[in-house]
């Protein structure tokens, strides 16, 4: 299947990634909130495996399910998803809906190695991660709910990919994520930018941050904070 149209934004993906990573999630969230999308923050427990890690990019969605039998058809089929990643031809965020499983690791070093060779620049895993030391040493950004040494085999398996998924939300039970939606994460967490809003939200956030920087500089100068607040409406 050709998913490339889901990754066309009118601005090249590498440029979008660069510009988003110059911002911060709080500002992006505020802009989405004011645009009428207040429920785009993922659950508070979803954090980077190292505090200074950030990620930005379009979602390649993966759905996993509990699999206590170790279904060989599912295990054999999963290798094809990496070729599907490569076929898209732009940087991607491996984005995993783990069906609320809390037992196993749903991401690890080999996923990262194969992923990087297939265009992946980071992962958002609504579940567990292992081989974390390798990921940290390789400076590969992964956001997950927890770390564990527990192997997924006979516990959890890939089911399908490039389909709508649902990740746990901060303000709602879940946040829908579609292929091509944009994910942006830093120490505060992860926000999901719907594909149709990626460029508009970016431009509005850049404008917001510029105003904030001006207000911040004036606050730091020791000038009257009341007057600065009246001028910018920021605090």
Integer Cα distance of 100 and 67 in angstroms? 13
Q: What is residue 67's predicted lDDT score, i.e. its pLDDT?
A: 83
> Cα dist. 93→59, 182, 185, 190, 192 in Å?
5, 8, 11, 12, 12
pTM for the structure as a whole: 0.92
Q: pLDDT 10s digit of each residue in the chain, 235 long?
A: 567 889 999 999 999 999 999 999 999 999 999 999 999 999 999 999 999 999 999 999 999 998 887 667 777 777 889 999 999 999 999 999 999 999 999 999 999 999 999 999 999 999 999 999 999 999 999 999 999 999 998 888 889 999 999 999 999 999 999 999 999 999 999 999 999 999 999 999 999 999 877 777 767 777 766 766 666 666 5
């Amino acid at each position: 299947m050709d998913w490339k149209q889901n990754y066309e934004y009118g601005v090249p993906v590498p440029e979008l990634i660069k510009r988003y990573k110059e911002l911060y999630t709080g500002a992006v969230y505020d802009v989405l909130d004011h645009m009428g999308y207040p429920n785009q923050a993922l659950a508070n427990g979803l954090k980077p495996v190292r505090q200074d890690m950030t990620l930005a990019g379009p979602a390649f969605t993966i759905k996993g399910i509990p699999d206590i039998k170790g279904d060989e058809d599912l295990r054999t089929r999963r290798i094809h998803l990496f070729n599907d990643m490569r076929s898209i031809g732009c940087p991607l965020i491996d984005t995993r809906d783990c069906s609320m499983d809390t037992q196993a690791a749903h991401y690890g070093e080999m996923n990262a190695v194969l992923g990087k060779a297939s265009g992946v620049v980071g992962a958002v895993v609504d579940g567990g991660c292992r081989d974390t030391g390798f990921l940290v040493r390789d400076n590969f950004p992964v956001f997950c709910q927890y770390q564990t040494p527990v192997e997924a085999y006979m516990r959890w398996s890939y089911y399908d990919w490039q389909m709508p998924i649902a990740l746990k939300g901060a303000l709602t039970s879940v946040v829908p994520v579609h292929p091509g939606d944009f994910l942006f994460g830093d120490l505060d967490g992860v926000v999901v930018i719907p594909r149709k809003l990626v460029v508009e939200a970016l431009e509005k956030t850049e404008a917001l941050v510029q105003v904030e920087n001006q207000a911040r500089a004036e606050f730091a100068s020791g000038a009257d904070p009341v007057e600065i607040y009246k001028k910018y409406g920021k605090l």
